[in-house]
Amino acid sequence: MGPTKEKQVVYKEKKSKGGFFSYMLVALVAALIGGFVVAYVAPTYLYGNIIPYPETNDGNTNKTGNETIKINTKDDINTVSAVAKKAMDSVVGITTTTTQQNFFGNEVPLQGVGSGVIVDSNGYILTNSHVIDGGNADKITVQFADGSKTNANVLWQDSTLDLAIIKVNETNLPAAELGNSDDLIVGEQAIAIGNPLGLQFQRTVTSGVISGLDRTISSENVMMENLIQTDASINPGNSGGALLNSEGKVIGINTAKIQSAEGLGFSVPINIAKPIIEQVLSDGEFKMAFIGINGLEVDKYEKALGLDIQAEKGFVVIEVVPNSPASKSGLQQNDVLTKIGDTEITGFSTLRKALYNYKPGDSAEMEIIRNGKTEKINIKFDKAPDE
């Protein structure tokens, strides 16, 4: 009896273990089959027949059961390639020779290199003032996409804006299309074309985004305002080259890079240059509207005199030139000039920017703060006395 019972006990335990694993196997198979049914049958049969389609946020039926997210994008690589193809030939290389005296008093030729953008097919090229040494270069040579070279003359330059227009005696040149820098938004695509580190890398294309707008930097004792910031790679030699949008339109002229950091390049907005280009093309030269005042920014004026003039920003008039447009308009000493036309005046640079929108003979409305009260006066600009 003992052995028999022992065998029966052992037999029953084995039977019990076998049944447990069998149940587990059946459950696992059932789970897999159930998952298959949910994954493949439900979307194709249950939804729309037994279970209604779920609604997305836009009210459209989603047959996968997930919310539909629509992102309209462009292929960045194809966009950059298309922009390069459109604008490449409009970017030129610029080399300069400037004679300077060395320590021993001997004249030594210094070579410079940069970039430029053809803005009119009849030989007008926009670049940086510092590329042509502030207009002091003895010789300026332009190299085109086909490798041909020719000399250029300076028509206009302004070191405060770091812009210049030079001219070559050529026609039928591939002029770039100019965009609207006032419409830029942070994060949109930006493509730079220029000649980094010399003409051996001419018309190099880099891409990035608009990283910031209305930036202010100090460069060689000059305060530059209203700049476009981009992370598109800009290196020495890129100066004067084009910053373009995704449509291949020039939105800026590359001017500077912060050497101590990566991805910090700056461009002068093309809208600053547009009125200058237009006048040069129509008149063959540029004459800046003359206002006839001297002054300081509000913060510098208050700091220098220890005063609070009840104005947050603007240009404080310290001197009014006799018989100047400012004098004839009624502008007075200690007035704070805050706006000319639609341009807000925050300092000397923005004052010059505002004046570039006008020619001698044009009229404009000015907004001033006088004795703590805002007033508006009209002014008719003239040409500078030495012109």
CATH number for 213: 2.40.10.10
192 and 264 share one domain:
yes
Do the domain assignments include residue 2? Answer: no
Is residue 369 within 8 A of residue 310, CB to CB? The reply is yes
218 and 250 share one domain:
yes
**Beta partners for residue 364, in sequence order:** 379
23 and 90 share one domain:
no
261 and 342 share one domain:
no
- Domain limit, last residue, from 72, 89, 110: 72
115 and 142 share one domain:
yes
What DSSP designation does 202 have?
A: T
Do the domain assignments include residue 57? Answer: yes
Tens of pLDDT, residues 342-371: 889 988 878 888 898 898 999 999 999 998
Non-local (6+) Cβ contacts of 363 within 8 A are 378, 379, 380, 381
Do the domain assignments include residue 320? Answer: yes
Do the domain assignments include residue 7? Answer: no
Q: How confident is the model at residue 278 (pLDDT cuts 50, 70, 90)?
A: very high
Active site residues: 130, 162, 239
Write out the two tokens for 182: 């006032």
CA angle 158, 164, 167 (to 5 degrees): 140
300 and 353 share one domain:
yes
Half-sphere exposure of 364 (CA within 13 A, CB side): 24
Q: What is the pLDDT of residue 19?
A: 52
116 and 52 share one domain:
no
Task: Give the whole-angstrom CA distance, residue 51 versus residue 219.
Answer: 67
187 and 262 share one domain:
yes
Do the domain assignments include residue 387? Answer: no
Do the domain assignments include residue 225? Answer: yes
- Note down the domain range covering 245: 181-275
Q: What is the pLDDT of residue 2?
A: 42
Q: How confident is the model at residue 124 (pLDDT cuts 50, 70, 90)?
A: very high
Report the range of poorest mean pLDDT among 66-70, 173-177, 220-224, 348-352.
66-70
Task: Give the whole-angstrom CA distance, residue 351 versus residue 293.
Answer: 11
Q: What does the H/E/C string look like for 71-120? A: CCCCCHHHHHHHHHHHHHHHEEEEEEEEEEECCCCCEEEEEEEEEEEEEE
Q: How confident is the model at residue 8 (pLDDT cuts 50, 70, 90)?
A: very low
Long-range contacts of 354-359 (CB under 8 A, 24+ apart): 355/288, 355/289, 355/291, 355/381, 356/161, 356/272, 356/275, 356/276, 356/288, 356/289, 357/275, 358/289, 359/279, 359/287, 359/289
- The mean pLDDT of 37-51, rounded to a whole number, is 40
In the block, which residue shows the tokens 């194809």?
78
Domain count, the chain: 4
Task: Give the whole-angstrom CA distance, residue 223 versus residue 221.
Answer: 7
- Domain limit, last residue, from 167, 201, 220: 167
In the block, which residue shows the tokens 């002029």?
175
Do the domain assignments include residue 346? Answer: yes
Is residue 325 within 8 A of residue 381, CB to CB? The reply is yes
Q: What is the pLDDT of residue 197?
A: 63
Task: Give the whole-angstrom CA distance, residue 357 versus residue 173.
Answer: 27
- Domain limit, last residue, from 34, 55, 72: 72
Task: Give the whole-angstrom CA distance, residue 387 versus residue 285.
Answer: 12
Q: How many CB atoms lie within 10 A of CB 212?
A: 14
193 and 250 share one domain:
yes
Tens of pLDDT, residues 229-243: 998 888 777 789 999
Q: How confident is the model at residue 159 (pLDDT cuts 50, 70, 90)?
A: confident
Task: Give the whole-angstrom CA distance, residue 221 versus residue 251.
Answer: 25
196 and 229 share one domain:
yes
| Residue closest to 163 by CA, chosen among 232, 222, 107 | 222
Do the domain assignments include residue 115? Answer: yes
Domain CATH code at residue 302: 2.30.42.10
- Terminal-residue alpha carbon distance, the chain: 133
44 and 126 share one domain:
no
Task: Give the whole-angstrom CA distance, residue 381 versus residue 362.
Answer: 6
**Type and span of the H or E element at 123:** none
Task: Give the whole-angstrom CA distance, residue 73 versus residue 120.
Answer: 33
Task: Give the whole-angstrom CA distance, residue 336 versus residue 264.
Answer: 34
